[in-house]
Amino acid sequence: MSKSRRLLVLAVAVLLLGGLAAALVLRAAGRDDKPSAGGPTVAAGTVTLDRPGSLAFLNGGQGPHRGALASVPADAPESGRTASELNCQRFHAAAGTGVCLRSTPGALAQDNKALIVDSELRTLRSFPLAGTPSRARVSPSGRFAAWTVFVSGESYGAAFFSTRTAIVDTRTWKLEANLEEFAIDMDGRDHRAQDVNFWGVTFSKDDDTFYATVSTGGETHLVKGSISGRSVKTLAENVECPSLSPDETRIAYKKRVRAGASLWREHVMDLGTLRDHALAEKRSVDDQAAWLDDRTLAYGLPTDGAADSTDLWTVPADGSGTPRLLAPGASSPARLG
Amino acid sequence: MYLADRSAPAPGGAKTAADRGPVRAPAVASTVLALGTVSMITDISSEMVTAVLPLYLIAGLGLSPLGFGALDGVYNGVSALVQLTGGHLADRVRNHKLIAGIGYGLSALCKPLLLFAHSLGPISVILTLERTGKGLRTAPRDALISLSTPPELQGRAFGVHRAMDTTGALLGPLAAFLILSLTVDGYDAVFGVSACVAVLGVVVLMLFVPSGADTRPGPSGGAGAAAGTAGSAAVPGADRPAPVRLRDALGLLRLPRLRNLAVCAVLLGLTTVSDAFVYLLLQRRTGIGDQWFPLLPLGTAAVFLLLAVPAGALADRIGRRTVFLTGHALLLTGYGLLLWAPAWPALPFLVLALHGMFYAATDGVLPAAVAATVPGELRATGMALVGTGQALARFGCSLAFGAAWTLWGTGPALAAAAAGLLCCAAVAGFVLRPSAPRDTRPDPNPKPDPKPGPHPDPKPDPKSVRPPR
């Protein structure tokens, strides 16, 4: 092929591919205005975090309020959603305090922040994050907030993953920026490994006790910790993303089905006996479940047929029943009030 | 030549590198520029995906840290082993462009597929295929670069290629974030545009890169370069040399110079702490604010980008061994600063600069050195052997460093890595010493001659080299 011929082919390819790329971007940009047919109805409004009997989540339905914190009456989750102006990738709230993990595209890299908001969703404090938002929790009293981010070197090919989990006291604004500095008591012995990763904090009502996942040496452990004591103690193995029940007798968590396989089943463990049972949900759940009440759990699962969206499902906590769709196109559920 | 062919005394004792004076630099071969463009475009494409993938997987699909950690492991190993296959295939079918093209094409196909994967299993499969594509193309691409460049300009050619490649890596995230800010949850747009960009890379490859088909001896390295040798004299008559067999590829390891290079690449790879650890250590050491953490890799890349070409050209002039070992000395200095320097405000900048200089002085210089030891018809295989060895060694280092970090803590682990690096660099300095070729001259073919083709020549004379295609 002569040089001019090749340049011509190149020009045509650039035009075709450039046109296709532009069309893809324009389509994604125009998505803002068009709610998908048959999707949940969403209207802008006021969302407050201390209104009893409502359920908050991040709206994932296509349309103008995608990514916004929305609320519905807890007893009628299918009714129209009220969307706030607060956009987050992860959210949790309790007793009028909310934590919103937000990631926005920056000039050179993602700009990741944790926002602590009051019941009117006004930002009280914002903390820069070292990585991609992963888990968020507020203590039942609203005093403490915790978050986990995934830290990575932004590059293919590192045999390596690292998380960072922080807890902040919203009364004193004292920040524990990295729980890895807490003392770890593993089976009665002081554990000083440096490959420790913490994630998925869940708080007790006493404003000191928390539970979390600790991974070290290729195993995941359930730990019970004390914020004031800056220490944790291992309780059980193969426990990820714990969630403490409102009556504080049980935790729901992800149990790895088989070592090496990335498949999890949602289980509930009795903290008194450390005995556990699987829930009726047979699909692999990869979320930190939330208790809607002492009998019901809610969690996100990828939406069928849409890659970047999840639906919220519920299932009874005692292992009975069947999973039920709670809200399509939604994530990060939190029972308010 | 080892890493320092030009400073090695010529076997005939006729001339030394110094006598020849500095090489006048012609422009880089058009094939190198074309391949550099292909790599730049492809890197824009793949780094677009890399930049948004964590957020897409963790925030969009809800993957937990352990799930993401499992995926992170997928990236490893795959491309290292495939690289060997790609290198050998390219030599076997005598069409480097074809194998590289398949590799680039496979990676391009994977990008839009990401949109249809909703869970860890399918995503792992797609990412594995994407890495397979990368593994396939690496060795034939480097072979093409070296086959289109005269021996005395290899370092510069690889420097130009690596600089263009890194430019793409820096532009990719910018493009991805631009698209995300223009759209609403535009991950699909990012993946789609990334696929378009990747296809453009394949188009440029097909249009502007010659195939590297090896019916003639390549212009560089050992092969036909030394026009006067008996080996190359036999070639013009042969219409097509005997096909490259697996045995020939394994026989490469019996070439002492290549074996030495491979051993050094492995030894140094075993003591090169992976980037992510370096950035984490740097943050722990200096207390850089969390918001700056994602920018640390950009610092390394920027320095690499600025210095890749000068470092490659310098390697051509003063010897690749010197530059390669200096690169590791700079890395060692970086480790030392991380370990013992007081908390100067300039410390992060210094460490990142040293880290980038290390890459500039080694990343392109190593394949340039390999090119000079491997005959043209086995060039891709040779590149792959050293590349795979290095990649597996670095992977091993990650595991070992993780274990040391666990057992001893960060400081001692890094000190151990630094001590190891010092020892390995000393061994490499000895093994690659320029005087070595003298006594190895008679042996370049320790095995029975597999074919009438050209033999590797330990001391190609640059003056007899044909101009690049």
pLDDT in tens, A69-104: 999 999 999 999 999 999 999 999 999 999 999 998
CB A254 within 8 A of CB A200: no
Closest CA to B78 of B138, B128, B141: B128
CB B255 within 8 A of CB B262: no
**pLDDT bracket for residue A209 (50, 70, 90):** very high
| Chain B neighbors of A300, CB-CB under 8 A | 62
- pLDDT at residue B433 in the model: 84
B79: Cβ contacts below 8 Å, ≥ 6 apart = A157, B131, B132, B134, B135, B138, B391
Closest CA to B224 of B455, B389, B12: B455
**pLDDT bracket for residue A217 (50, 70, 90):** confident
CB B150 within 8 A of CB B462: yes
Q: What is the 3-state secondary structure (H, E, C) of chain A?
A: CCHHHHHHHHHHHHHHHHHHHHHHHHHHHHHHHCCCCCCCCEEECCCCCCCCCEEEEEECCCCCCCCEEEEEECCCCCCCEEEEEEECCEEEEECCEEEEEEEEECCCCEEEEEEEECCCCCEEEEEECCCEEEEEEECCCCCEEEEEEEECCCCCCCCCCEEEEEEEECCCCCEECCHHHCEEEECCEEECCCCCEEEEEEECCCCCEEEEEEEECCEEEEEEEECCCCEEEEEEECCEEEEECCCCCEEEEEEECCCCCCCEEEEEEECCCCCEEECCCCCCCCCCCEEEECCEEEEEEECCCCCCCEEEEEEECCCCCCCEEEECCEEEEEECC
CB A269 within 8 A of CB A253: yes
- pLDDT at residue A175 in the model: 96
Q: Across A134-143, A328-337, B26-35, which has the greatest mean pLDDT?
A: A134-143
* pLDDT > 90? residue A216: no
- For residue B413, what are its two tokens? 């682990």
CA atoms within 13 A on the CB side of B75: 16
Side chain identity, residue A321: G
Closest CA to B275 of B251, B301, B256: B301
Task: Tell which of A160, A176, A313 to mutate to test the B interface (max B CBs under 10 Å).
Answer: A160
- Looking at chain A, which residue has its C-alpha nearest residue B290? A130
Provide the residue count of chain A.
337
Q: Which residue has the higher pLDDT, A4 or B225?
A: A4
Q: Which residue has the higher pLDDT, B236 or A131?
A: A131
Beta-carbon separation of B63 and A152 below 8 A: no
Give the gap in angstroms from C-alpha A298 to the nearest C-alpha of chain B: 14
- pLDDT at residue B445 in the model: 41
CB B276 within 8 A of CB A158: yes
Mean pLDDT, rounded, for A245-270: 89
| Chain B neighbors of A109, CB-CB under 8 A | 51, 173, 177, 294-295, 298
- pLDDT at residue B435 in the model: 57
Beta-carbon separation of A159 and B283 below 8 A: no
**Rounded to an integer, what distance in angstroms lies between the CA atom of residue B444 and that of residue B226?**
14
- For residue B225, what are its two tokens? 């370069």
Which residues in B20-157 belong to E strands, given as ranges? none
CB A303 within 8 A of CB A263: no
| DSSP β-ladder status, A81-87 and A310-316 | unpaired
**Rounded to an integer, what distance in angstroms lies between the CA atom of residue B144 and that of residue B371?**
10
Phi, psi of A250 (to 5 degrees): -135, 160
Beta-carbon separation of A21 and B208 below 8 A: no
A50: Cβ contacts below 8 Å, ≥ 6 apart = A95, A96, A119, A336, A337
CB A197 within 8 A of CB A148: no
**Rounded to an integer, what distance in angstroms lies between the CA atom of residue A301 and that of residue A283?**
9
DSSP B363: T
Q: Is B447 exposed, middle or buried (0-12, 13-18, 19+ CB in 10 A)?
A: exposed
Give the range among A18-27, A148-157, B302-311 with minimum mean pLDDT: A148-157
CB pairs under 8 A between A and B: 255
- pLDDT at residue A208 in the model: 97
Phi, psi of B468 (to 5 degrees): -60, 155
Beta-carbon separation of B68 and A215 below 8 A: no
ipTM, 2 decimals? 0.86
Neighbouring C-beta atoms of residue B390, cutoff 10 Å = 24
Give the gap in angstroms from C-alpha B441 to the nearest C-alpha of chain A: 39
Flag residues of chain B having pLDDT under 70. 1-27, 70, 72-77, 212-243, 435-469
**Rounded to an integer, what distance in angstroms lies between the CA atom of residue B281 and that of residue B413?**
11
Question: Residue A138's beta-bridge partner residues?
Answer: A145
- Looking at chain B, which residue has its C-alpha nearest residue A283? B119
Of A111, A177, A286, the CB nearest to B67: A286
Closest CA to B111 of B196, B5, B21, B237: B196
Q: Which residue has the higher pLDDT, B410 or A301?
A: A301
* pLDDT > 90? residue A131: no
- How far lies A90's CA from each of A132, A149, A198, B229, B383, in Å? 10, 11, 17, 69, 45
- pLDDT at residue B439 in the model: 42
**pLDDT bracket for residue A154 (50, 70, 90):** very low
- For residue A285, what are its two tokens? 């759940």
| Chain B neighbors of A160, CB-CB under 8 A | 72, 274, 276-277, 398, 402
Beta-carbon separation of B297 and A155 below 8 A: yes
Give the gap in angstroms from C-alpha B264 to the nearest C-alpha of chain A: 21
Of A25, A29, A160, the CB nearest to B398: A160
| Chain A neighbors of B34, CB-CB under 8 A | none
Task: Tell which of A215, A263, A308 to mutate to test the B interface (max B CBs under 10 Å).
Answer: A308
Q: Is the pTM of this model over 0.90?
A: no
Beta-carbon separation of B46 and A156 below 8 A: yes
Of B124, B189, B200, the CB nearest to A25: B189
Residue at token pair 């594995």: B128
Question: What sign does the dihedral B448-B454-B460-B461 (CA atoms) show?
Answer: positive
Beta-carbon separation of B54 and A9 below 8 A: no
Beta-carbon separation of B120 and A220 below 8 A: no
Give the gap in angstroms from C-alpha B445 to the nearest C-alpha of chain A: 36
Beta-carbon separation of B189 and A193 below 8 A: no
Radius of gyration of chain B (CA): 22
A85: Cβ contacts below 8 Å, ≥ 6 apart = A44, A68, A121
Side chain identity, residue A319: G
- For residue B370, what are its two tokens? 């390999």
CB A245 within 8 A of CB A216: no
CB A42 within 8 A of CB A325: no
| Chain B neighbors of A130, CB-CB under 8 A | 283, 290-291, 293-294
Beta-carbon separation of A132 and B55 below 8 A: yes
Give the range among A132-136, A183-187, A313-317, B341-345 with minimum mean pLDDT: B341-345
- For residue B167, what are its two tokens? 């430019």
Beta-carbon separation of A32 and B68 below 8 A: no
| Chain A neighbors of B186, CB-CB under 8 A | 25, 28-29
Question: Residue A243's beta-bridge partner residues?
Answer: A252
CB B294 within 8 A of CB B50: no
